[in-house]
Structure 1
Amino acid sequence: MGRIVPAVSRALDILELFLTDDSATLGAPDIARRLELPRTTVHELVHTLLARGYLAPAAGESGRLQLGPRLHQLGGRYAERLDLAAEARRSARWAAEQCGETVHVALLEGAEVVYIAKVDSTHAVRMASAVGRRLPAHCTGVGKALLAALDEAELAALYPDGRPLSAMTSHTVTEPARLRAELAEVRKTGVATEYCESNPDVACVAAQVRDAEGQVTAALSISVPVLRWSDARAAELAEIAAAGAGDMSARLGWGGGQLH
């Protein structure tokens, strides 16, 4: 490994301030203060980034800067090369390595989820699931994680009040009002849980995956036979699922994610 070049690191630090700052624009004094850098250093770096198109003057805001068109071009090229299923498999493998359980990644299509990635458990008892399989969203962990991102109008279109939901097991939630209450809890905690609702012998936890715009685009779940399920295990797996989903989100370009 070669050494890290300080000047390059500082230039990247400047660009990454725009990922965390509430404002879309920054001034050179703001940058100097937040990065604790001399103003002369900041001015030199900013001048270089402006000259190369990585920063641009903010329209109508004297002395303020915004991200430049060159970053949009690079982001577009990165997005072109993304393979959603490949990124899903990569993050699912990481999560499975942490817990030894079965990990799925799924997308929402109407009122169903479709699985795009699966990594099997290392245990003898495994899930009878497959990539490409579809299940009703309301009775799966990934489905609840995805449904929680919909607004009330979208949920009402999928699950009208007064119309019972289909049941796959005796544990399946079949009342739209109860499903909405569970989705509200998912929005608070960021994690969805499901206990024997799609399979009488399996429980799971799931977390949302976001794209570069922050939109929920997929969900990652960890499934466990009930013989290995407990409150403590559920809490442990919830953390891993959230980390795995954050990992995939980061690979899709979301600034709030994390890379492993």
Structure 2
Amino acid sequence: MARVVPAVVRALDILELFLERPQLSARDVMERLDLPRTTVHELLVTLVERAYLIAVPGQPVQYRLGMPLFQLGAAFAGRLDLVREAQSVTRDVAAGCNEAVHVAVLDGADVIYLVKVDSTHPVRMVSAVGRRLPAHCTAVGKVLLASLDPAALDEVLAKATLPGMTPESITNPDCLREQLDRVRTDGVATDVGESDTAMRCVAAGVRDHTGAVIAAMSLSAPIIRWTPQVQGEWTELLREGAATLSARMGYVSPR
């Protein structure tokens, strides 16, 4: 079996810290990764030399991500049909409601947001492409968890700790399973203040040509605009958007 190179692993660990914060100091890296000062210094110098990190002007021990990482991400996204197609569809859905629309995928027990279109309202959801959240606390995550076969779901839940993000978060595995059963029946999932007490969200699955759920699309709005009158309209708009994106991914709905 090929050997994993520790220095490369540590360098990647450093880069992944920037998923949480846009700027970090050498001391931040040392403390978060529990690495010796000399090791951190050598790794940072190497990453700066290759421009994967940039020393912040005027703050030589503060670092931020460099352009090569954007180029790699852009190259990946450019080859991913889901992202390209989702950008178009989410814009159309957002135009129909003027609320935030996202597309996310499952990564273990978390979701990662691939596409986002913001609302133009002053009060709106705070989120970002690339953000990672616990799947069980989000509508998109529930849709994706509900799409797993029983064995795969058991494996995910066996490893997940089900942390709560708000008092409304589901932290009991049995309660989560009951809600996932309802998602399979209804075809949509909701987030009722489970990731942010001020927000409400509805999500539906996106399927590929095989019929497999490969992503989920969500519509999110502050509770002050999430009225019973618009909830049904937005849910239907979201269903149509997810169906449109599924069709673009090659899915043919059964008659």
Q: TM-score range by the shorter chain?
A: 0.5 to 0.7
Is 2:168 the counterpart of 1:171? yes
Cα pair 1:100 1:122 within 8 Å, conserved: yes
- Match of 2:158, SS state, is coil
- Work out the number of aligned pairs and report it: 177
| TM-fit CA distance, 1:152 | 1.8
Matched ranges for 1:41-60 at <5 A: none
1:128 aligns with 2:126: yes
1:213 to 171, 194, 210: 210
Shift in Å, 1:221: 0.1
Question: Partner residue of 1:107?
Answer: 105
Aligned to 1:73: none
Aligned counterparts of 2:79 and 2:104: Cα–Cα separation in 1: 20
* Aligned residues of 2:134 and 2:162 also touching (Cα < 8 A): no
TM-score (norm 2): 0.66
User: Superposition pairs for residues 221-260 of structure 1, below 5 Å?
Assistant: 221-256=218-253
Matched-pair contact (CA < 8 Å) for 1:164–1:176: no
**Which runs of structure 2 are paired with 1:9-48 in the superposition (5 Å)?**
none
Q: What is the alpha-carbon distance in structure 2 between the residues aligned to residue 166 and residue 134 of structure 1?
A: 13
Structure 1 residue 82: deviation in Å? 6.0
2:190 alignment partner in structure 1: 193
Instruction: Give the superposition deviation at 1:94.
Output: 0.9
Give the TM-score normalised by the residue count of structure 1.
0.65
Equivalent residue of 1:200, what SS? coil
Amino acid at match of 1:245: A
Larger Rg: 1
The runs of 5 or more residues in structure 1 that have no matched partner are 1-79
Cα distance in 1 for residues equivalent to 2:80 and 2:116: 18
Find runs of 4+ consecutive structure 1 residues off by over 4 angstroms: none
Unaligned runs of 5+ in 2: 1-77
Deviation at 1:160, TM superposition (A): 3.1
User: The residue matched to 1:93 in structure 2 has which SS?
Assistant: helix
RMSD over aligned CA atoms reads 1.9
Contact 2:164 2:170 in 1 (8 A): yes
Q: Is the 8 A contact 1:164 1:175 kept in 2?
A: no
Alignment deviations for residues 55-91 of structure 1 (CA, whole Å, 9 cap, x no partner): xxxxxxxxxxxxxxxxxxxxxxxxx976221111111
SS in 2 for 1:138: helix
Q: Match for residue 23 of structure 2?
A: none
How far is the alpha carbon of 1:151 from its aligned partner? 1.8
Q: Map 1:140-155 onto structure 2 (within 5 A).
A: 140-155=138-153
| Identical aligned residues as a percent | 51
